[in-house]
Amino acid sequence: MDLLVIRHGKAEPHGDAGSDASRRLSEDGRKKLGRGARGLRKLVPALDALVSSPLVRAVESAEIVAEAYGDLGFEQTPVLEPYREPKELADWLAGRSESVLAIVGHEPLLSLASTWLLSGLRTSFLELGTGGALLLHFPGEIDAGRARLVFALTSWQLRKLR
């Protein structure tokens, strides 16, 4: 499996009634993520599935990525919420059958889970900025230390690719 890990775009500082879950993408975040998603498609031309966190900024980001991939549909899962455990994500991934799966989520989960999948370490050595993406390849089983890093790019680098 190839796992494309995408962090949501830049969001507004506050959501409805101060709720973190309801924070929307900022206008600048929408524009930059749209350009970055077009660059991302040059590196990963096709996706078998796209899945996002249910938080508003991730759903809006997934909509933008889906549009860049030709109006690809997507689903949501709470496994991609910010403070979930990397092992929970790995178990969920192990139950998937796609060859190329893209996920849209949040920090700290994405960096922690990516580090754990690459090395087995529980302390992150990665920092995925807003709108950034990385691609992990699993030649076999999905578990700690089993992934291989294909690329890790910032939002700026992705926008330059478009």
CATH number for the domain harbouring residue 63: 3.40.50.1240
CA–CA dist 93, 129 (Å, integer): 22
Q: List the domain range (segments joined by +) for residue 118.
A: 2-161
For the chain, the domain total comes to: 1
How many Å apart are CA 119 and CA 132, to the nearest integer?
20
Tokens linked to 153: 């790019």
CA angle 18, 20, 25 (to 5 degrees): 105
pLDDT in tens, 10-53: 999 887 777 888 999 999 999 999 999 999 999 999 999 999 99
Helix residue ranges per DSSP H, 54-137: 56-68, 86-94, 109-119
Q: Please tell me whether the overall predicted TM-score, pTM, comes out greater than 0.85 for this model.
A: yes
Which tens digits make up the pLDDT trace of 67-101?
A: 999 989 999 999 999 999 999 999 999 999 999 99
